[in-house]
Every structure is written in structure tokens, then in C-alpha cells.
Chains A and B, each alone.
Chain A
Amino acid sequence: MAIALTPNALLGRRRGNSFRRSYSVLPGFNLSLGYTLGYLTLIVLIPIAAVFLKTSELSFAEFWKVVTAPRVLASYKLSFGASIIAAAINAVFGLMLAWVLVRYSFPGKRIVDALVDLPFALPTAVAGIALTALYARNGWIGQYVEGVLGIKIAFAPAGVLVALVFIGLPFVVRTVQPILEDLETELEEAAASLGARRWQTFRYVLLPILLPALLTGFALAFARAVGEYGSVIFIAGNIPLVSEITPLIIITKLEQYDYVGATAVALVMLLFSFVLLLVINALQAWSSRSIGGSR
């Protein structure tokens, strides 16, 4: 991904008074700067500022009461809990899938490789109804899991998890895969010549190299899952206090014309996303540093 943001970058920016540039013969600096900043402000920054300003209509006590109401708290628990578990499942299987795609040859590999990105391309609403159809009591999977094993997935918290695993699947694969591809076989040859068993080589040589990318993929999948709406609402059942995710709380409040309440909850999520964005940037900086260092 593009340039990573580190805390230093933020500090460095503060020292400067504005967007000052060093000399370049390539023209168009002012035009592209003006256009970029203008468009960014109009589309992104003003709307985000609106969330902060709207929330300021509440006193802190009121704000606190809204964002810690039992139903809201239950939704945090579900949204964050399911997202972390989904991201962890994706980390394990994503790493495995990336490994298999890079290391082994098998029929249909090209198709598997291309379809890994399906969750990026498939509209979330479509994913939502498809997963619901599969995991409902009469669905292809649901009839066994619910009918035979008695585990309810659709219209229960487990359904939320299924949807979040689906939408987060490509992140880990696509962050780990390029690193695996660029890996020198010499590393493993060296480890083998030093007497390491295959598992030891993976554990002590490969995993540390893959770890930054793996964590980045985990964090990206997590960030995406927390904010996800479309695929979840169909399968979740949306039972208050049980299977209601935080984005749905915002929608519900909006439908009741409780703009301030909706905005307050949105602010909590927004702040959380920003922190996560910083973490992801730091992880990516670490990731590119450690690739750089291993060469």
C-alpha cells in the first residue's frame, strides 16, 4: 500500500507551516495541490467534521449516556468481538491459502487466485442474502449445522461471524501473498543446512518475516469488519442485545430521527477507526522496513 504514516510524519508536519514544496521542474504543483485539497475537503473532511460538530451539541454526560446505553454496549461487544474472531480466523486460513497459492501447484489454482478477491467485488447486500440462504435452517449448510448439529447460525450472533469472515477473507491473503512470493529460497536452504526441521524453519525463519504482513492483514480485516453493514444485517436477525451490530444501532437511531444519538455512536466508531488506521499505518511501515532489512 502507499506511504505509511508514522507518528514522526505527523510531528514532521507540525513543524512546517503549510504545504511548502522543494523545487521541481515538473509543473502542475499548484493546480494539483489545489484540486486535491479542494476535492478532499469537500467530499471527506467537511462531512467528517460534521460528525464532530453535531456531537458537540451534547454535553459530555449526555454523550456518555448515549454511547454507554445497554443496547449500544451490547452492540459494541458483538461488533468488536465478532470482528476480532473473524479477523483471527482469516489470519489462520488466509495465511494457509496464501501459502498454498504460492507454494503448491494444483488444478484450478488460477481461478482460486482470482476468486480470492470476490468479497472485494461482490456487493455486500448480495453476499448477505447468499450467506443467509446458505445458513438458514433450510439452506445447503444450515440444514446440517442447524438441523443435525443443532447449532443456530443464521439469525444469531454466529451469523454475524460468518458474514465478517467472508468480507475479511482477501485481506490476509493479499497482504501475505506478495511477501511469500518474494521470499528467497536461500533462507530456507540455509536453515535446512543448519539442521532445522521444516517446522522449525517455518516457526523461526519464515513466520517472523511474515508476521508484520500477517498482522497488517489481520488489522485490515478487523477494521473492515467493524464497520461492515450490508452483509451482516441480512444474516444477523438483528435482535436487540443479542445480534445487533453497532452500525445498525446508528441506522435505527436515524430512522427514529435521533440524529444526535446516531452521531454520538458514529463518533465512537469513527475515533476507533482512526486509531486503527494509525495502527495499520505503523504496521505497514514495520512491514516494509522488515522486507527492506531482509534483503
Chain B
Amino acid sequence: MSIEVRNIHKRFGNFTALNDISLNFESGQLVALLGPSGCGKTTLLRIIAGLEQADSGIVTLEGEDASISSVRERQVGFVFQHYALFKHMTVFDNVAFGMRMKPRAQRPSKQEIKDKVHELLNLVQLDWLADRYPSQLSGGQRQRIALARALAVEPRVLLLDEPFGALDAKVRKELRRWLRKLHDELHITSIFVTHDQEEALEVADNVVLMDHGRVEQVGTPEEVYNHPATPFVYSFLGSVNLFHGRVEEEGLRVGADAVPHTQDNFTEGSEVFAFVRPHELQIVTDTGYTQGVAAKVVRVLSFGVSARVELDGLDRDKDQHFEVELTQAQVAGLALTPGQHVRLVPSRLKLFDRPGYVSADAVSNPASV
């Protein structure tokens, strides 16, 4: 089922949780709402579910205005961050709950409920736990039971609030893969909220990046990672080096240094932020070289597949730190020593206007996911 939210606003007291959110979620997709805590992603999810009411704006499910139907009628499956399993009921009773609550006329027979519960427990591979209580389950098992319970009412949409947030790293990775697989089997339109960029990029078909109650960018994982639309997206997805500079004829002026750049849609003299990923910086040890930003080596971390070099800017007022990612071979070739003066030359530089970034088109128009 497709979901559309249009011009959603939500305030809590003086705090603006959602500011004019418009999004389209296409049928059958798995979408991640990604952003730092407090960016409004959970609020948006709860508004779609009907657990929260927007101050203005509408939510349509399959073209129907959802605001006329109550939560109970929306047929959404919701998986809570802490699962909200009923502590006093067995796993079986938890999964059966939704079916048992139906009005008598629509309620399936006892046998039907039993079959359905076991079918779902098999789906989440936990049929053997049917008689246990939630307190006797591990975090990952609870998560899957919560999912089975949500699926029992045959939801048209599946909404998951930080589905892996309360799990430890290893289980989290396993469940991620499992959720993706499950989605490929069931094809229910699913939206999940996360603050973990790796999770969002790995699992979702599409990612909605949010910050301060606004949508920053919408796109496939590749699009948002490789072509960040805003400074926020750039810095939120992976580590990044930041320069403040001014666009000049010969390149970007950063303090006393000049850096070459290729983006020509900035007029000369405009003040900009420049972003460079750690692997997009080269270290030049040649002392005669004049291009790039001067820096001093602080530490070389050469373990793992790639090596990292931490550097400080030379401009003492600014207290700037840089991080460069190189291959082990490159680091060995450079033979850097702490304290050594080098120059950093970006192979790719992304510029954004400074100081105030004005929202791009993606924000005001309903963006397709």
C-alpha cells in the first residue's frame, strides 16, 4: 500500500518536531527514516501510525485520508522500540492478541487463530518459544515476536521504531539481514526509523534523511551517500573534513592556503563550506608544493584494511583537525612521522553556501521515495 504524507506540522510546546513534511512512500518498498535523535523521525512514524496527531497536514493511505480512521481501523503494524510485548502473556497469546480483539463477527475461530499464530511463529523461526513469557526471551527473540505480533493482524503497512536500537552489535547485524529477507518475501510497505546510518544504507530501498524536523534528502542509499544534497547529509553519512573558505579565481582560499576545486557554479567571492571525505584527501610531503592546506601529522593509525592519519591545521586560531584515509601501501610509502609538516590536497571537494543553507527543492515538493 502506498503512503503519502503532505505538509505535516507538529509542535510539542515550543519545540518544532516536524516542519512541513511531505513524502511519498511507494507500495512494497522498505524505507528508512534516518536522522539524529530529536530530528522528528519517530514522531513522523507515530503520526503515520495514528499514535500521534499532526497539528496540520494529512496522511493518506492508498489515496484515502487516514485522519478519519482511528488507529484501530488503520490496519498498520507497529513494532515498538522496546517491543511493548505484553509481559503477562505467553508468546502465543501475544501473537494471538490482535485476532482475539476483533469483534465477534470478524473474529477467526480458535483453530484458525492457532494455525495463524504458528504460521507466523514459523515465519520468524521461533515456533518453539510459543509457551514462553517475554521475560524469558533474548532481545533478538523479543524483536522477532514483536514483528510476528504486528503481522498477525495482516497490516497494510509495517512501521518499525528503531527496530534494532536495543540490541547488541552482533545480533543487530544478523537481524538486519533477516529483516531485509523477510521484507523481500512479504513485500509489505515498510518504514523503519533509525539513527544508525550504516543500518539505513544497508537495509533500505530508499532513505529519508531528516534533521530538525525537516527532510534533508531522499534517495537510494547510493544517491544519498555519493551525492549528499546538504551539508547535514554530508556530515551525517560518514566522517568528513570541513574547510571554511572563499571562492577565488585560482581556487578555494582557505586561510593562507589555496585549494583547487572543480565546482564552477559558485561566483567568485562567495563564502562556502567545503566538504571532503577522508579517502578523498591526498597527503603531499614535498615541502616545495604550494597547493592544498598546510597541516601537521599528529598520529598514524595503521591497522586494519586501510590506514588513518590524524592531522592538525597549522593555523593556531582555528584549532582544525583532519582525518585522511589511505591504503596501507600508501602510508608505508609516505613514511610519515608525528610533527611532520605536509599539505592536504583534495581529489574531490563539495562546496556549500555559507552561512545559512537554504532548503533545496527536495524539501518543499513531495519527494518520491
B237 interfacial contact with A, CB 8 Å: no
**Once bound together, how far apart are the Cα atoms of A23 and B52, in whole Å?**
7
For residue A16, give the distance in angstroms from its CB to the closest CB of chain B. Answer: 13
Residues of B contacting A23 in the complex (Cβ-Cβ under 8 angstroms): 52-53
**Once bound together, how far apart are the Cα atoms of A25 and B53, in whole Å?**
9
For residue A20, give the distance in angstroms from its CB to the closest CB of chain B. Answer: 13
**Once bound together, how far apart are the Cα atoms of A25 and B52, in whole Å?**
7
B50 interfacial contact with A, CB 8 Å: yes
For residue A190, give the distance in angstroms from its CB to the closest CB of chain B. Answer: 29
Residues of B contacting A25 in the complex (Cβ-Cβ under 8 angstroms): 50-52, 70-71
For residue A294, give the distance in angstroms from its CB to the closest CB of chain B. Answer: 25
CB-CB contacts below 8 Å: A1-24 with B: 23
CB-CB contacts below 8 Å: B126-169 with A: none
For residue B151, give the distance in angstroms from its CB to the closest CB of chain A. Answer: 20
Chain B contact-residue range equals under 10
Grouping DSSP codes into helix (H, G, I), strand (E, B) and loop, the B interface class, with mixed when no group exceeds half, is loop
CB-CB contacts below 8 Å: B221-238 with A: none
**Once bound together, how far apart are the Cα atoms of A23 and B17, in whole Å?**
15
Chain A, 88-120, contact with B by CB distance < 8 Å: what is the 0/1 string? Answer: 000000000000000000000000000000000
For residue B150, give the distance in angstroms from its CB to the closest CB of chain A. Answer: 16
Residues of A contacting B53 in the complex (Cβ-Cβ under 8 angstroms): 23
**Once bound together, how far apart are the Cα atoms of A23 and B50, in whole Å?**
10
For residue A28, give the distance in angstroms from its CB to the closest CB of chain B. Answer: 14
Residues of A contacting B50 in the complex (Cβ-Cβ under 8 angstroms): 25
CB-CB contacts below 8 Å: B20-75 with A: 50-53, 70-71
**Once bound together, how far apart are the Cα atoms of A25 and B72, in whole Å?**
9
Residues of A contacting B51 in the complex (Cβ-Cβ under 8 angstroms): 25
**Once bound together, how far apart are the Cα atoms of A23 and B67, in whole Å?**
13
**Once bound together, how far apart are the Cα atoms of A25 and B70, in whole Å?**
8
For residue A252, give the distance in angstroms from its CB to the closest CB of chain B. Answer: 53
CB-CB contacts below 8 Å: A23-57 with B: 23, 25
Residues of A contacting B70 in the complex (Cβ-Cβ under 8 angstroms): 25
**Once bound together, how far apart are the Cα atoms of A75 and B70, in whole Å?**
61
- The residue on A at minimum CB distance from B72 is A25
For residue B78, give the distance in angstroms from its CB to the closest CB of chain A. Answer: 11
Chain A, 149-171, contact with B by CB distance < 8 Å: what is the 0/1 string? Answer: 00000000000000000000000
- The residue on A at minimum CB distance from B71 is A25
**Once bound together, how far apart are the Cα atoms of A25 and B84, in whole Å?**
15
- The residue on A at minimum CB distance from B55 is A23
For residue B272, give the distance in angstroms from its CB to the closest CB of chain A. Answer: 43
For residue A135, give the distance in angstroms from its CB to the closest CB of chain B. Answer: 49
**Once bound together, how far apart are the Cα atoms of A64 and B327, in whole Å?**
91
For residue B258, give the distance in angstroms from its CB to the closest CB of chain A. Answer: 52
For residue B354, give the distance in angstroms from its CB to the closest CB of chain A. Answer: 39
For residue B46, give the distance in angstroms from its CB to the closest CB of chain A. Answer: 9
**Once bound together, how far apart are the Cα atoms of A111 and B52, in whole Å?**
49
- The residue on B at minimum CB distance from A23 is B53
**Once bound together, how far apart are the Cα atoms of A25 and B48, in whole Å?**
13
- The residue on A at minimum CB distance from B51 is A25
Chain B, 96-120, contact with A by CB distance < 8 Å: what is the 0/1 string? Answer: 0000000000000000000000000
For residue A21, give the distance in angstroms from its CB to the closest CB of chain B. Answer: 12
**Once bound together, how far apart are the Cα atoms of A23 and B54, in whole Å?**
10
**Once bound together, how far apart are the Cα atoms of A289 and B158, in whole Å?**
39
**Once bound together, how far apart are the Cα atoms of A25 and B71, in whole Å?**
7
Residues of A contacting B71 in the complex (Cβ-Cβ under 8 angstroms): 25
Residues of A contacting B52 in the complex (Cβ-Cβ under 8 angstroms): 23, 25
**Once bound together, how far apart are the Cα atoms of A87 and B71, in whole Å?**
53
For residue A29, give the distance in angstroms from its CB to the closest CB of chain B. Answer: 13
- The residue on A at minimum CB distance from B70 is A25
- The residue on A at minimum CB distance from B52 is A23
- The residue on A at minimum CB distance from B12 is A22
**Once bound together, how far apart are the Cα atoms of A23 and B46, in whole Å?**
12
| A/B interface sample: 6 pairs, CB < 8 A | A23-B53, A25-B50, A25-B51, A25-B52, A25-B70, A25-B71
Shortest beta-carbon contacts, A-B, top 5: A23-B53, A25-B71, A25-B51, A23-B52, A25-B50
Interface set of B (CB-CB < 8 Å, partner A)? 50-53, 70-71
Interface set of A (CB-CB < 8 Å, partner B)? 23, 25
